[in-house]
């Protein structure tokens, strides 16, 4: 078994979290290297795109969280084998990545500037994405995004829905998801109660 080291921020969310859960679901040992923002700033010049997460596989450095999620998802049985279902899985991963990108643009803003940017996000991109994600979920049968079962797309989605409903993003109403896309709130509960996800968080407790 290769030696795996995943470097990402020290919180249970973001781009690194689906990869961590998938590693755990696969029963694969990995070094969960959690860094502070200060450590990230100090180290980022050594990272290929000056971004996290970074995955090292026997010392070989790999970037791009969705590629990591797909790779570990294949090892964990959390990625579809059927090409069309794999396409649906990739689509959901990619769309969530686009949304993350929009949200991250508002990080670092403060005061009125933050309020304006977040309100614009809520009325624009965020509303569009939430409705779009729910449509993808419905197309998949209503419970999962692809293959009628848990895949890494569901892990990425649930991490994002949890964040949006948590109140940690100022000026993003905590009930926005429930109002615009209640299916996503139900999806979060479904994924959170999956035994593999439950086991991962039990291991963190
Ligand atoms: N496409 C990359 C994006 C990586 C990315 O933007 N990572 C964020 C953290 S979630 C980051 O390093 N941000 C720091 C910055 O851009 O200053 C991926 O999916 O891994």
pLDDT tens digits, the chain, 205 residues: what are they? 899 999 999 999 999 999 999 999 999 999 999 999 999 999 999 999 999 999 999 999 999 999 999 999 999 999 999 999 999 999 999 999 999 999 999 999 999 999 999 999 999 999 999 999 999 999 999 999 999 999 999 999 999 999 999 999 999 999 999 999 999 999 999 999 999 999 999 999 9
User: Which of 9, 12, 15 is the pocket-test mutation for ligand 1 (most atoms within 8 Å of CB)?
Assistant: 15
- Kindly give the number of the ligand 1 atom that is closest to the alpha carbon of 49: 4
- Kindly give the number of the ligand 1 atom that is closest to the alpha carbon of 63: 20
Q: What's the 84 CA to ligand 1 centre distance in angstroms?
A: 28
Structure tokens, 152: 């890494």
In the block, residue with structure tokens 């026997």: 58
Q: What's the 141 CA to ligand 1 centre distance in angstroms?
A: 31
Residues whose beta carbon lies within 6 Å of some atom of ligand 1: 14-15, 51-53, 63-66, 97
Helices 182-192 and 127-139, interaxial angle, to 10°?
Answer: 60
Question: For residue 96, is the peptide bond before it cis, meaning its omega torsion is within 30 degrees of 0?
Answer: no
* Rounded Cα gap, residues 59 and 54, in angstroms: 11
Closest-CA residue, ligand 1 atom 15, reads 51
pLDDT score at 181:
98
Residue 141 is classified by DSSP as T
Neighbours of 201 (CB within 10 A): 12
User: Which of 34, 37, 52, 67 is the pocket-test mutation for ligand 1 (most atoms within 8 Å of CB)?
Assistant: 52
* Rounded Cα gap, residues 159 and 155, in angstroms: 6
Say if residues 153 and 18 touch (Cβ distance below 8 Å).
Answer: no
- Kindly give the number of the ligand 1 atom that is closest to the alpha carbon of 16: 10
Closest-CA residue, ligand 1 atom 17, reads 51
Closest-CA residue, ligand 1 atom 20, reads 64
pLDDT score at 78:
98
- At 70, which helix (H) or strand (E)? helix 65-76
* Rounded Cα gap, residues 181 and 24, in angstroms: 29
Per-residue b/e over 186-200, b at no fewer than 16 CB within 10 Å? bbbebbeebebbeeb
Q: Residues, the chain, total?
A: 205
């Amino acid at each position: 078994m290769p030696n795996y080291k995943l470097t990402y921020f020290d919180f249970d969310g973001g781009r690194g979290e689906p990869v961590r859960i998938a590693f755990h679901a696969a029963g694969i040992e990995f070094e969960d290297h959690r860094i502070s923002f200060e450590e990230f700033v100090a180290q980022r010049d050594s990272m290929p795109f000056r971004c996290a997460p970074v995955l090292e596989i026997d010392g070989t450095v790999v970037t791009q969280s969705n590629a990591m999620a797909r790779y570990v998802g294949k090892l964990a049985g959390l990625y579809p084998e059927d090409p069309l279902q794999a396409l649906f899985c990739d689509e959901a991963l990619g769309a969530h990545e686009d949304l993350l990108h929009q949200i991250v643009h508002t990080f670092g803003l403060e005061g009125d500037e933050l309020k304006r940017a977040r309100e614009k996000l809520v009325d624009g991109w965020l509303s569009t994405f939430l409705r779009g994600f729910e449509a993808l979920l419905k197309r998949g049968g209503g419970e999962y995004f692809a293959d009628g079962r848990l895949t890494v797309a569901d892990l990425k989605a649930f991490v994002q829905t949890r964040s949006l409903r948590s109140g940690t993003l100022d000026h993003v109403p905590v009930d926005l998801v429930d109002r615009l896309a209640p299916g996503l709130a139900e999806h979060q509960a479904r994924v959170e109660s999956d035994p593999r996800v439950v086991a991962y968080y039990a291991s963190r407790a």
